[in-house]
Amino acid sequence: MSTETWKFAPPYELPQWPFVAPPDLGAGEPIRYPVVIAGGGLAGLTLACDLALRGVRAVVLDEDDTVGVKGASSRGICYAQKSLEIFERFGIYERIREKGITWSVGRTFSGDDELYAFNLKDDSHSEQPPFINLQQFYLEWFLVDRIVELGGTDLRWKSRVLQVEEEAEAVRVDVETPAGRYTLEADWFIDATGANSRIRSDLGLEVHPSRSTDRWCITDVRFKVPVAAERWTWVDAPFNEGRSVWQHLMADGVWRLDYQMAEDCEPDTISRPEVAGARLRQQFGPGVEFEFVWIGPYQYRDHLLENFRVGRMLFIGDSAHVVSPFGARGGNNGIQDAANLGWKLALVLQGEASESLIDSYQAERHAAAVENLTVCRRTARFLAPRSPAEHRIRRAVCTLARRHEFARRLANTGRMAQANAYPPSAWAKQGSRSVQNVAFEGTNLMRCLGRDNRFLGLAVGADAAALASLDALAALFPIDFRGVEPTSPLAAHLGVERGTVVVVRPDAYVAATLAQATPDAVAAAMRDALGVDERERLAAVA
């Protein structure tokens, strides 16, 4: 029996924001707002920040008065390039980079052997790295600070949504606060309250949840051993009774160690400090000094909402979809939901696009969620074989992977989050893919997309006359044009040649790639992308 005493680090110090009584309290009639977001987590705050930059003042209702989850440590830890590019556009990337851990190398082990390594930098052309690890609450904190700095957004703490009700042209929202209840109205209501959304369940919307029997125990620790700032995963660690282990560094020198447990284990037992400490000793040896930051047993689950839009209500982040944690596809996709929706809501509210554009959020982000679910379920199945036969197949993969490249491709300890490509749709006939934040000609794509709510037409090799004829479109559509040298890294990344115009959306996805582009062709692509014909649009603006 170990007589070791176990040290715990002091808890993270997180900011608190005060409840301020809103004008709605005591107002006779409900006040009407363009966008009301319930939930100040990653998805909700990203949307609020995106909207603020696009000139839309959102109301954010959060039942807490701080960031993160009370009594728990960080949920998400890995932020992917697309998310980091969004944060670069928001102006908080540098703060994230300074606080977080930049990494690109991952290693997968089986037993005592390394099966393979990857370096995500090899495929990257962006100004942002493939990944930064950071405790989720820091990211939320930085988002709140930025939203406050930008002004305009109404952040309402200690404000809990009791009920939502759809009316003809608005959503009625009942809110409970320390100073009483009130009702407000929203043109658009966004549920970003997470996996256990009561808003969603009260509306009777089914998400077909599936709970895994696979059990894990997170152990966040601080210690002084030389461990690489890389993502290390063991398929079958000898120091964890042949089960999986994850090892990842976060900010403040905190390591996230995630141990796969036996399916029939007792969560209370495996998370006791002496049990968790013994696991650590198995991995790192008897002499290593460490202190616990957090120990948390969990079972993962997944779910998917069928319709992310219900009338004037929209569901983003975990409220709409939950995946297993392998591959960092949870938080990153909540962030991307928000970035997909922000510019669309803004253009619709500003009368520049048809309301039908909001349906493209469902078309694109539901498809992305389906893809992420498939990817994550495959990883989960590799990591938790369900029968002796599955164990045998996995063992064969790991044995061959020690010698052969083809078998390494079969070993699946997580396919890291990427910006999902979107299928062809009415809004993007060729489908749509994300453009990385490539540096070119003294600027980069995020800087070009800037703060306005406008598309960017990249005219490859266009001369002054060609640019002038394209510029005429800027009065008709929310798009600006910019010439790009055919030899520039951006043209190479896009894989396009002289004469092509690439129409980039405000969320840095390609709306259309038009070879030998004429202004008419660009105008047609813009009409598609906005879901509007010109007469309709001009009438709306008038």
The piece of 10-18, 115-123, 139-147, 396-404 that touches other proteins (CB under 8 A) is 396-404
Alpha helices for 30-80 (secondary structure H): 42-53
Residues in contact with other proteins, total (CB under 8 A)? 12
Identify which of residues 221 and 375 has a Cβ nearer to other proteins in the complex: 375
DSSP 509: B
What six digits make up the tokens of 396? 């064969």
The piece of 121-129, 262-270, 317-325, 394-402 that touches other proteins (CB under 8 A) is 394-402
Q: At what angle do helices 136-150 and 42-53 cross, to 10 degrees?
A: 30
265 binds other proteins (CB under 8 A): no
Q: Residue 339 in contact with residue 88, Cβ under 8 Å?
A: no
Identify which of residues 353 and 398 has a Cβ nearer to other proteins in the complex: 398
111 binds other proteins (CB under 8 A): no
210 binds other proteins (CB under 8 A): no
211 binds other proteins (CB under 8 A): no
396 binds other proteins (CB under 8 A): yes
Q: Which of 473, 484, 517 is nearest to 499 (CA)?
A: 517
**Cβ atoms within 10 Å, residue 503:** 25
Identify which of residues 286 and 406 has a Cβ nearer to other proteins in the complex: 406
Beta-carbon contacts of residue 487 (< 8 Å; ≥ 6 apart):
none
Minimal distance in Å, beta carbon 367 to other proteins? 21
The single residue among 60, 115, 144, 397 that binds other proteins, judged by CB under 8 A, is 397
Binders of other proteins among residues 398 to 437 (CB under 8 A) are 399-400, 404, 406-407, 410
**Cβ atoms within 10 Å, residue 70:** 7
Minimal distance in Å, beta carbon 323 to other proteins? 19
Binders of other proteins among residues 334 to 393 (CB under 8 A) are 386, 392-393
Identify which of residues 410 and 439 has a Cβ nearer to other proteins in the complex: 410
Minimal distance in Å, beta carbon 389 to other proteins? 8
CA distance 155 to 20: 9
Minimal distance in Å, beta carbon 232 to other proteins? 25
CA distance 121 to 110: 24
Minimal distance in Å, beta carbon 86 to other proteins? 34
203 binds other proteins (CB under 8 A): no
**Three-state SS sequence of 212-242:** EEEEEEEEEEEECCCCCCCEEEEEEEHHHCC
78 binds other proteins (CB under 8 A): no
Cα–Cα distance list, 104 to 121, 236, 243, 245, 276 (Å): 6, 23, 25, 19, 28
Burial of 29 (0-12, 13-18, 19+ CB in 10 A): exposed
Residues in touch with other proteins (CB under 8 A): 386, 392-393, 395-397, 399-400, 404, 406-407, 410
